[in-house]
A and B are shown apart, each in its own frame.
Chain A
Amino acid sequence: MRSIWVDEAISVHQAHMSLGGMIDNLRATDRHPPLHYLILWLTVRLFGDGELAVRAPSILASAALIPALFVTGRELFDRRTGLVAAGFVTIAPLVVWYGQEARMYALFMLLGVIALWAQVKVLRDGRNRYWVAYAGVTIAMLYTHYFAVIPIAIQQIVFAVAAWRRAQAGLPIKRFLTGVWLTWLALLIAAAPLASFAHEQFSHSQAAGMGFGGAPSAGAPLSIPGSSASLYAILSNFVWAIWGYHTNSTILRIAALWPLLMLLSLALMGQRRSPATRVVLGLALGPVLILLFVGLVKRDLFEVRYFVAAVPMMLLLLARAVAGGPRRRMPAIVATTVLSLTLLIGLADQQLNPNNPRAFDFRGALEQIRSEARPGDTVLYAPDYLRDVVGYYSPGVRTEALSDAEAHGMPRDGHVFLLGSFLDDPGIAAQVGTGRYDLSQRPHRLIRTITRDQIRIWEYS
C-alpha cells in the first residue's frame, strides 16, 4: 500500500479533532463538504488511524462501484455491457488509485453511478422508492463534493427533456413532474445548510488569498502554466481518467497518439446513439467541458479528480463501444481484451513505477529518519503543508517547517534533516535551496542526501 500523502494526512488530522472542532476546522480551512470527513471521523473512532483503517471507506466505496456499475450498465444497455463495464472498473487505474486514498473521490464516483441508476429506474419505472433513492443519493453527492452540482444539473436536464418528450407524445406527466419538483424541494432543503457552510469556506479561503481552489496538487501539470487553453491538458486529463497517473513523459507520449481519436470520431459517423448513450455521454463529457471552461479562468480547477465522477461513465461508454457496438462476437472479444490489457498496463505502471509524479514515499522517508535520528536532532520540512503528513509518520524527533526555522533561527545542535518535496515547484525548490544555503553557513556540514519517491532529504551534521 502506498504511503499516506498530504491531503490524506490533513483529513486524518482533522478526523482526530472533536466533531464540532472538525466541522469548525473544515469551515475555516477546507474547501470540501463534510460527508466524507464525517465518515472518516467515525472510522478513526472505531478503527483507529492506521493506513488501512483511514482508507477503508474508500476501499469499500470503490469495491461497491463494481457491482453498481454492472447493475447500471445492465439496466441502461444490456448484461454484456454491464459485465464488461464492471470488469473495466475493477482494473481502471484511477478508480484503484482513489480507492486507496483516504479522500472523498471514491465515494463521489460510487454515488454518481448510483444516481444514474436511480434516475434510469425513475424514468423507466417511476415508482416512489426510486424517486426517494434518487433524491437521497444526489443529496449525499452534494455533501461529498461541491462539483456534484454539475452531474446533478445534467440529470435535471435529462428530466426536463424526458418531461417534454412525454408531453409531446401525449403521455401523462403530472406524476412525473411532481416527482421532479419534490426532488428539487428535497435538494433545496438539504442544500440550505450546505450553502452557508460553503459560503464560510469560500470567505475564509478568499481571506487567505487562495480563492476556491489552489489545493496542493501532486505532479506537475502538463500544460504550459499561464498559457492559453491547452488541448494537450485535456488529452492528459483524459489519459489520466482512463489509464491513470504516469510520468509526464509517458502521458505526453500517450497524448501524442491523438490522431487515433480522429479514427474514433470517423468510426462514430453514422452510428445511431440511443437516449441511454446520450445520457451517459452527457454525464461523461458534461463535467469535463464545464470544468474546462471554469479552468480557463482558474486553471487548477481543471483536474481529473474534480470530475472523477465522470470516470465510471467514461468506462461505461467504453464498455458499450467495445461490447455493445460491434455486431459480431469476435471483434467484441478482441476489443474488450485489448482495452483491458491497456488498462492493466496502465495500472501496473501507475502502481509500480517509482517515477510516478503522484506517488510520494513519505512513509519510507520518515521511517528512515526515525531509525537514524537521535534525540536532539531536528527535521525541517518544506513546503509548510507537509506538517500533517510529517506528523502522521512522526519521525520521533523535533519537527519544524523550514519557513518557521528561517524566521526563528536554524537549529544549531544535533543533526538536521531537511526534507523537501514538491521540488518541481520553483518556489518550493528556491525555498529549499535557500534553506540549504543557510544550513551550509552554520556550523553544519552536509553528510549525505537521501532520495525517496518525490522526496529528498539532506542530512547535516
Chain B
Amino acid sequence: VSAAGDPRLGPVHWPMPDQREARGRAFVMALICSVLAVWYLSWLLFGAHVGNPVLFGLLIAAESFNLIQAVGFWWTCSHQRMRRSRSPVGTEAVDVLIPVYDEPVDVVEPTVAGAAALHGSDVRVWLLDDGQRSEMEGLAARHGVGYMTRERNIGAKAGNLNNALRLTSAPYVAVLDCDHVPRSEFLDRTLGHLEDFGVAFVQTPQYYANGASGPIAAAAAAQQNLFFGPIARGKDGLDAIFCCGTNVVFRRRALEEVGGFSEDSVTEDFELSVRLHESGWRSVYVSEVLACGLGPEDMASYVSQQQRWARGCLGAIPLVLRSRLPWRARLQYLLSATYFLTGLTLLIYMSLPVIRIVTGAQPLAAATADQFLLHFAPYYVGALATVALAGYGTYTYDAFALAAGSFWIHVQAAFNSLLRRPARFVVTPKHGTIARQPRAVAPALVAVAVLIGAALYGLSRSHGAATLNNVAFASLHATVLLTAAIPALRLRPSAPLLPDPPRPAGPITRRRWPKPVAASMLAAAVLVPVAVGALGAKGLASHPTLSEQAHDAAESFFQRYVQPDGRVVRTDQGGDTVSEGQAYAMLLAVALDDRTRFDRVWHWTREYLQRGDGLLAYHWSNGRVDSDEPATDADLDAARALVLAGKRFGSDEYTHEGERIGDAVLDRETVDVGGLPVLVAGPWARSAPPVVNPSYFSPRAYADLTAARHDSRWDDLAGTSRAIATSLTAGPTLPPDWARVDSLVASGNGDVSASAAGIASPDNLAATSASPDSPASGLDALRLAIRSAESCVPADRRVAATLWPLYRRHPGSATYALGGLPDGHVTHAASYVAAAAAAKAADQNGRMQHLLDRAAEANSAHPTYYGAAWVALGRVMLTSSALGSCPD
C-alpha cells in the first residue's frame, strides 16, 4: 500500500499551549462564568418566574444538568497539566498489541509498519486477529511481527487483549487500535513516565488525521481535539485521566492486578481505568500526538461509535458510584459518564418552543424577553467563549452540530441503560461510504420536521413578537440539526482519502431513502400543523385566528397609543391614561398572542394603577394617579384579560391576579337589589338607587370568570345584566349611557326581570357644562351592542340584535337620542363598530364587514384612542375567536 495520501502519515495540527497560560485563561473564564451562572440561575430560580410548573421543572433540570457539566468543564480546564515527555533510562521490553477484527489491510498495514519501526525499547509487536484472515497473517509476516488468533472470539476487543496478555510477558504493554499509526518516538516519549512505579498507564491523544476527508470526519476530529486537549490535560492535572483504549502504554503488573480488561463492557477501557484508580494506581497523560488515527468518515460510523460510547459510559455510572475512588477522580468519571445525558437536555430545549407555539404553555412567566435575555445572554456568551478559548479555536460549529444531532443516541442509550438492556461491542467502521445514509439521521430529521412544522404553524397563526421568538428558537434547533444531518443525505463528492475496500463490480447505485424515514418525516411535517390546528379549533389554549385586518388594527392601536413601558396614552386627550385603556390593551395583547406586550401593559397597570383591594385606579396623568376611583368596566375587562392570559400563556400567576380583581369586582362593585347582584358603575355608585352603566355589562367576561372561579355570583350577574339591558332597550330604544336600577324580580323559573330607567348623568358625578339634559346614547353606551353581540348566550345576542334597526338607519353617530336619531353631525369610529355588532347579532354579516370597514376608515380619517381601541376590539370580538370561542 502506498503511503502517499494517507493522512495518518502527514503533518499534525495540534495546539500545545503553555501550561500557565492555559490554566490562567481557563481560571479567569471560570471565574467570570461562575458569576454569570449565578446571575442567571438565581434569577431563574428565585425570581418567581414559574410559568407552567412541569415545563419550568424540566427547564430547571436541563439548565442545572448543563450547568454542572459546564462547571465541571471549567474546573477541569483550570487544572490543565502539560507533561513533558520522559524517555526511559533503560531499554525495557514492550509488547505492542494491535487488535484487529474485520478492518481492511490498507488501514491496518501502516499501523503495523509504524509499530514495527518503534524505537527506544525492546519492541515486540503482535497483531491480534479475531478475523482469522490469511491476509492479516501475511501482513504480519511481511513486517516481521507476531500474529495471534483465538479459537473463540469471546469478549470482543477486551477478550482479544486479555488473550494476548496471557500469551505475552513484557513488563509493559502498548495498545494501539489497528487504524492508529504510531510515530517512531511513541515509546521514547511515554515509557519514562512508567519508571514511576505507581503509574499504571500512560495515555496519549487519540488524534483523527482524516479531518479533511469530509464534514463528519472534520467535526468528529474537532470533538476529539477538545476532549484530548484541555479536558484530558485537566483530568491529568486532577489525577483522573482514564484510558481511552488506544495509544496507551500499560504496566503489565497493574493490568494483571485488576484482572485485565473487562469483557462485560462495551467501553472496557473506561471500566479498567476505574478499577486501576480504585486500586491506588495512578495514570499519566502526555498531551503530544504520538499516533495518528482515522475518525468516522460517514454518519453511520459516527452513530455506531457514539452509541457504543454512550451506552458504555452510561452503563458504567453505577460502577463509578459504587467505587472507592478519591472524590476528585470520582467526580471526573461521573462528569465524563453523564455527559451522554446531554441529549435529554437538548430534547427538552427543542420541545419548549414547540410546546409554546402549539399550546401556549411555557416554562417562564412574569418575565419579559428583555429580562430573560439580560440574564441568559451573558451566561451563554461566557460559556461559549470559554469553550472557544480553552480549545484554542479547535472546537467548531460543525462539531457542536454533530454532537447536537446525536441527541437521540444519548436518549436511546439512557433508556437502554435504565432498562438494563445488554450492549453489544460494534467495531467502528474505518472506511466511509459514499452512499446516502438517511437512516443514520432519521430521528434528527423527524425532529427537524416537527420543529419546522411548529414554526410554520406559529407563523400562520400569529406574527407577534412572542411567537416569532419561539419560531426563531425552533429554527435555531432545526438549523443545528440539519447541519449535522445534511452530510448524511448527500452522496460524498469524492472517494475517501484511503481507498475503499474491494466492492462488488457494477455501478454505484444511489440508495433511495428508506420509505419509513421519508414517510415519518413527511408525516411529522404535515401532521404537526394539522394536528395542532385541529386541537386549536377548540378553546383558548389554541392560538387566535385573527384576520389580517384585526391583526393590523390591534397592531395599529399598540403602535399609536401604547408606550414601550406598557402605558396606554390617550394622546388625543392630553396624554393621560385611564384604566379602561390598559384593560383594552391587555385584551388586545391576548388576542395578538403577544406575551411580551401583555407583560408590559399589565406590569405598568399593576405598578401604577392597582389599588390595595385589587381594583384599578381610574385615571393617571402627569406622572401620578389623580383619581383613585375605580371604573367597573376596566376592572372587569382587566380581570377577563388576565384570566385569558393565564390560560393562553400558561401562567397561574395571571389567573390568580384575574381572579383577585374579579373577586374585588364582586365585593366592591356590585350591589344587592332584591336579593340579586347588580354590576354598578363603581364603588361610588352602590348607594340607592344604584347607578349602572349598561355598557359595562360584559357577558363574556362573566363567562370567563365563572370558568376560572366557579363563583355563581357571575352567573347571577349575567342574568341581572341581561335583564337590565333588556329593560333599557325594550321599545326598541338605544341603551342610555347611564341608568338607574329601580328593582329586580326573579321568577320561579330563574328568569329575572328588571325595572331600570336611563338618566342624563349619575347624580353622584359632578355635573359639567357638557352634561346632557336628558338621557343619551353616546360613546359609552355603544359598547353594550358589542359586548352583547360577542356573547355566547343567545339571549344576550338578542339584545344586540334588537338595536340593529336603530343603528342601521344612521350608523356612526357619536351621540344618539334614545329613539335612534343622531344628536348632531359628529361621527365616531366606535359607533360604526357598535352598528357592526348589532348587524352581526342580526345575522347581517355582510353589513357587519362593511360597517367595520367604515369604522376603520373613520378612525383613519380622525384617529382617536377610543376609536382605535374599539376598531381593534370590534374586529377581534366580532370576527375571531382570539378571545375564546363559544362551545358548540
Contact = CB atoms under 8 A, between A and B. Distances in A.
Interface of A: 220-225, 227-232, 235, 247-249, 252-253, 255-260, 262-263, 265-272, 355, 423-430, 432-434, 436-437, 448-449, 451, 456
27 contacts: A224-B565, A225-B565, A228-B374, A229-B374, A230-B370, A249-B558, A253-B463, A253-B465, A255-B465, A256-B369, A259-B469, A259-B472, A260-B475, A265-B380, A265-B384, A269-B384, A270-B388, A270-B395, A270-B397, A272-B393, A426-B575, A432-B574, A434-B574, A436-B574, A451-B861, A451-B863, A456-B863
Contact of A256 (B394, B468, B571): B468
Given A231-B370, A247-B559, A263-B476, A456 B377 contact: no
A272 B15 CA distance: 14
A423 B575 contact: yes
B373 A257 contact: no
- Which residue, B222, B396, B623, has most C-beta atoms of chain A within 10 A? B396
A258 B370 CA distance: 10
Interface string B344-386: 0000000000000000000000000110011001001100100
Contacts of B400: 266, 269
A155 B401 CA distance: 37
Nearest to A247: B559
A120 to B, nearest CB: 24
Interface in B128-171: none
Contacts of B558: 249
A258 B571 contact: no
A390 B373 CA distance: 43
A435 to B, nearest CB: 9
B574 A252 contact: no
B749 interface: no
B571 A437 contact: no
Contacts of A262: 380, 476
Residue among B222, B381, B397, B564 with the highest chain A CB neighbour number at 10 A = B564
A268 B600 CA distance: 34
A221 B370 CA distance: 14
A269 B476 contact: no
B575 A258 contact: no
B696 to A, nearest CB: 25
B64 interface: no
A451 B863 CA distance: 8
A228 B564 CA distance: 14
A91 to B, nearest CB: 24
Given A235-B373, A248-B564, A449-B862, 8 more contacts: A221-B564, A258-B469, A266-B397, A269-B384, A426-B622, A433-B573, A433-B575, A436-B574
Contact of A270 (B393, B468, B475, B572): B393
B386 to A, nearest CB: 11
Contact of A224 (B475, B480, B564): B564
* 3 nearest A-B residue pairs (beta carbon): A433-B574, A429-B575, A270-B396
Interface residues of B, number: 56
Nearest to A357: B559
Given A272-B393, A429-B569, A430-B621, A266 B574 contact: no
A253 B558 CA distance: 13
B472 A269 contact: no
B374 A230 contact: yes
Interface in B183-236: 222
Contacts of B563: 220, 424
B448 interface: no
B264 interface: no
A327 to B, nearest CB: 12
Nearest to B374: A231
Contact of B373 (A231, A271, A437, A448): A231
B788 interface: no
Given A232-B370, A249-B559, A263 B575 contact: no
B608 interface: no
A437 B861 CA distance: 22
B289 to A, nearest CB: 19
A221 B377 CA distance: 22
A260 B369 contact: no
A217 to B, nearest CB: 13
Interface in B513-555: 555
B574 A256 contact: no
B801 interface: no
B639 interface: no
Contacts of B387: 269
Nearest to B554: A249
Interface of B: 222, 369-370, 373-374, 377, 380-381, 384, 387-388, 393-401, 463-466, 468-469, 472-473, 475-476, 479-480, 555-556, 558-559, 563-565, 567, 569-576, 596, 600, 621-623, 861-863
Contacts of A429: 569-571, 574-575
Contact of A355 (B370, B559, B571): B559
B579 to A, nearest CB: 17
Contacts of A259: 469, 472-473, 475-476
B476 A430 contact: no
B396 A432 contact: no
A380 to B, nearest CB: 15
A270 B555 contact: no
A235 B472 CA distance: 15
A221 B567 CA distance: 14
A280 to B, nearest CB: 19
B390 to A, nearest CB: 12
A68 to B, nearest CB: 32
A257 B862 CA distance: 35
Nearest to B464: A253
Looking at B473, B559, B622, the one whose CB has the most chain A CB atoms below 10 A away is B559
Contacts of A252: 465, 596
B472 A258 contact: yes
A430 B397 contact: no
B58 to A, nearest CB: 18
A228 B43 CA distance: 15
Contacts of A425: 575
Contacts of B473: 259
Contacts of B381: 265
Nearest to A266: B397
A270 B576 contact: no
A24 B473 CA distance: 55
A223 B393 contact: no
A225 B565 CA distance: 7
Given A224-B564, A266-B480, A269-B396, A258 B384 contact: no
Nearest to B378: A231
Nearest to A257: B472
B395 A269 contact: yes
A248 B559 contact: yes
Contact of A266 (B369, B384, B564, B621): B384
Among B387, B396, B401, B465, chain A packs the most CB atoms within 10 A around the CB of: B465
Nearest to A440: B770
Contacts of B395: 269-270
B814 to A, nearest CB: 13
Contacts of B397: 266-270
A256 B573 contact: no
A253 B572 CA distance: 27
Looking at A225, A249, A255, A355, the one whose CB has the most chain B CB atoms below 10 A away is: A249
A425 B575 CA distance: 8
A228 B563 CA distance: 17
Given A221-B564, A270-B222, A433 B576 contact: yes
A222 B472 CA distance: 20
Which residue among A252, A267, A355 has the maximum number of chain B CB atoms within 10 Å of its CB?
A252
A229 B378 CA distance: 13
Contacts of A270: 222, 388, 393-399
A456 B563 CA distance: 18
Contacts of A235: 373
B384 A253 contact: no
Contacts of A223: 370, 564
Nearest to B394: A270
